[in-house]
Structure 1
Amino acid sequence: MTAIDFTGVFPAMCTPFDDDDRIDFDTLQEDAQRLEAAGVDGLVPVGSTGESATLSHDEHVRVVEAVIEAVDDVPVIAGTGSNNTREALELSERAAAAGADGLLLISPYYNKPEQRGLVEHFRTIADAVDLPQIVYNVPSRTGQNVEPDTAVELASHENITGYKAASGDLGQIGEIAERTVDEDFAVLSGDDALTVPAISVGATGTISVAANVEPERTCAMVGAALDGDYDRARDLHHELGPLFRHLFVETNPIPVKEAMEIRGYGPARLRSPLTRLSEEHVGEMERILEDLAEERPVLDAAEGDR
């Protein structure tokens, strides 16, 4: 297994669709190249933000292949989770065969396994696929929390090298970071609004939705926090705060796809049952993005001084 340094910013990529509801691979690859050029530390296609729930298995693999083909020097961590262990294993094996550098595995949703079932699920995949793997905990989508004891137990497996924390529980994030400090194990924020606080208690970066829209500013924020420059990190967190909040005013990735279209990065189309951002929220998104664009020269100057 080739190790990945899970430090920094890893955008949870969107999957663009054309007017016929097909994947727009040209736009997908352009987006991957834009993000790499912006300085991100890796890319995460076909996760929740990539609408993995409405992609076929073949589409999953084709998206992963397209992103790998598009970039030069950043790792590609493929979302391959499922609530069916056999299905997650198959997706993971196919992503590995396609050349993925690592895997992001959401905890099983809907069937709500007990903690011992979660351990068995993740270990089954880790035993079979020799790639770095991130356990993704997002109880709001799965209905089940990956408890700290479970995360610590999983961290002992050589292929389970990360934990994406999207529980909103900063105490739990800090506990997992504390108890795995001697392991080759990274805790990553899965909630943009908690990234700076999470780093302060031991996280090493973020798998970020906001980085799709503001990659440079997100990288600057995370870099400052990792350097211990919390004044700078806090300032950038506050600049991005309105975007963080508005990206979750409706179900992700509805708002971020609208933001991507406003910025000219990709279409806002989503696959059913997801729908376009409500008109009542579009104007506020436009205003937030305009404000951030106006602050761009300030960010550029500050980054030039670093």
Structure 2
Amino acid sequence: MRKEITNGVYPTMLTPFKTDKSIDFEALNRLVGWYIKRGIDGLFAVCQSSAMFELSREERVELCRKTIEFAGDHYPVMASGHVSDTIEGQIDDMQAMASAGPDALVLVSNRLADPWEDDSVWLKNLDLLLKGLPTDIPLGFYECPYPYKRVLSTEVVKELINMERFEFIKDTCCDPDMIKERARLSKGTKVKFFNANAATLLMSLKEGFAGYSGIMTNFHSDLYHRLCHDWKEMGDEAVELQNYLGFASTIENQFYPANARYSLMKEGVFTNLVSRRQDARLRQITKSQEMEIDQFYTISEQMSQRFKRD
């Protein structure tokens, strides 16, 4: 029985690897446990942070299946892995992923049209894709920045809402005006927007967004969990926490995901920095960057104690 996509925090999961670059499922089990201990409401597996573009279809499906197993009965698991270039290949991607049993399938906005193609092409390809997908599973969309970022237009958002098949949209627009418009359009519908941008999070929650799904959950998901669930009762403390989260998120620009892997090594979750991503193979995190993360980690732990839920 599929679990409901509730409001709150959905980490964009990393994938741990062994030194031979095979998936380390023991570390994955520890990672899921760490997310749960830190405070989450569900998991977004097989996304860009998970190296979905560098995994085979079989690996993506197994990664989803194991995540569901480790998460247990309480936490919904969404999965993407929608990476093929052709619509036929994307149907195969999603049918295979559906077989793993996720609670929602998440489509990638840039897979349905090239950068120069307009919304009419995009919507036509979406229609073809939907005809090949199972009808008994909720769907979502993810404005993934790789290989190019395609932000859903207002007209497309309206179409997705009217289809009544979509329940999750990971918003990466980083635009306050667009966030307000999306919140207005989705109010009272089954579509839930989850912000991936830390700086606009509190504002988006006030407008009606459902929560947070971004890479900073790989550093301190508990702080996002506190803000998403308690901001109404926190008063000025919500602004204080938002100010920290917005500034802290600039660490994304350092060398992600290597810096998140390093932070998780400090937690005893990961055992190495091994990654399949091309940029990670070209260079490793520097000693100076390690020191930056050490200092960031110390302050983050202090903030976790400061804003610990009762």
Scaled by the length of structure 2, the TM-score of the pair is: 0.88
Deviation at 1:140, TM superposition (A): 6.8
Choose which of 69, 93, 96 in structure 1 pairs with 2:95.
Answer: 93
Q: Deviations over 1:48-96 (max 9, x none)?
A: 1111110110110010011011112100100232343222222221121
Deviation at 1:141, TM superposition (A): 4.6
1:281, 1:28 → 2: CA distance? 24
Counterpart for residue 190 of structure 1: 196
2:246, 2:290 → 1: CA distance? 17
Counterpart for residue 247 of structure 1: 252
Choose which of 218, 230, 237 in structure 2 pairs with 1:212.
Answer: 218
Change (3 A) 1:108 1:196: same
Q: Deviations over 1:97-144 (max 9, x none)?
A: 111111222212583242123223334444422321111124575243
CA contact (8 A) 1:139 1:167 kept: no
1:166 aligns with 2:166: no
Counterpart for residue 30 of structure 1: 30
Deviation at 1:6, TM superposition (A): 3.9
Structure 2: gaps spanning 5 or more residues: none
2:119, 2:235 → 1: CA distance? 36
Instruction: State the AA in 2 paired with 1:104.
Output: V
Secondary structure of the 1:89 match is: helix
Q: Deviations over 1:20-40 (max 9, x none)?
A: 111101101221122123331
Change (3 A) 1:273 1:149: same
1:247, 1:263 → 2: CA distance? 19
1:185, 1:228 → 2: CA distance? 25
Name the stretch that deviates more: 9-18 or 227-236.
227-236
Counterpart for residue 121 of structure 2: 117
CA contact (8 A) 2:106 2:141 kept: yes
1:278, 1:123 → 2: CA distance? 46
Deviation at 1:218, TM superposition (A): 1.5
1:237 aligns with 2:242: yes
Change (3 A) 1:268 1:194: farther
Name the stretch that deviates more: 53-62 or 281-290.
281-290
CA contact (8 A) 1:61 1:95 kept: yes
Counterpart for residue 181 of structure 1: 187
1:204, 1:230 → 2: CA distance? 19
CA contact (8 A) 1:126 1:133 kept: no
CA contact (8 A) 1:13 1:45 kept: yes
Deviation at 1:2, TM superposition (A): 5.1
Secondary structure of the 1:62 match is: helix
CA contact (8 A) 2:12 2:213 kept: yes
CA contact (8 A) 2:48 2:144 kept: no
Secondary structure of the 2:168 match is: strand
Name the stretch that deviates more: 260-269 or 185-194.
260-269
2:252, 2:11 → 1: CA distance? 14
Choose which of 107, 123, 126 in structure 1 pairs with 2:109.
Answer: 107
1:285, 1:87 → 2: CA distance? 39
Structure 1: gaps spanning 5 or more residues: none
Counterpart for residue 77 of structure 1: 78
1:161, 1:32 → 2: CA distance? 23
2:216, 2:277 → 1: CA distance? 23
Counterpart for residue 202 of structure 1: 208
1:151 aligns with 2:152: no
Instruction: State the AA in 2 paired with 1:256.
Output: A
Secondary structure of the 1:94 match is: helix
Deviation at 1:230, TM superposition (A): 4.9
Instruction: State the AA in 2 paired with 1:179.
Output: L
2:227, 2:163 → 1: CA distance? 31
Scaled by the length of structure 1, the TM-score of the pair is: 0.89
Change (3 A) 1:114 1:280: farther
Instruction: State the AA in 2 paired with 1:76.
Output: V
1:32, 1:136 → 2: CA distance? 21
Identity %: 20
Counterpart for residue 55 of structure 1: 55
CA contact (8 A) 2:3 2:76 kept: no
1:261 aligns with 2:265: yes
Aligned length: 300
2:129, 2:201 → 1: CA distance? 28
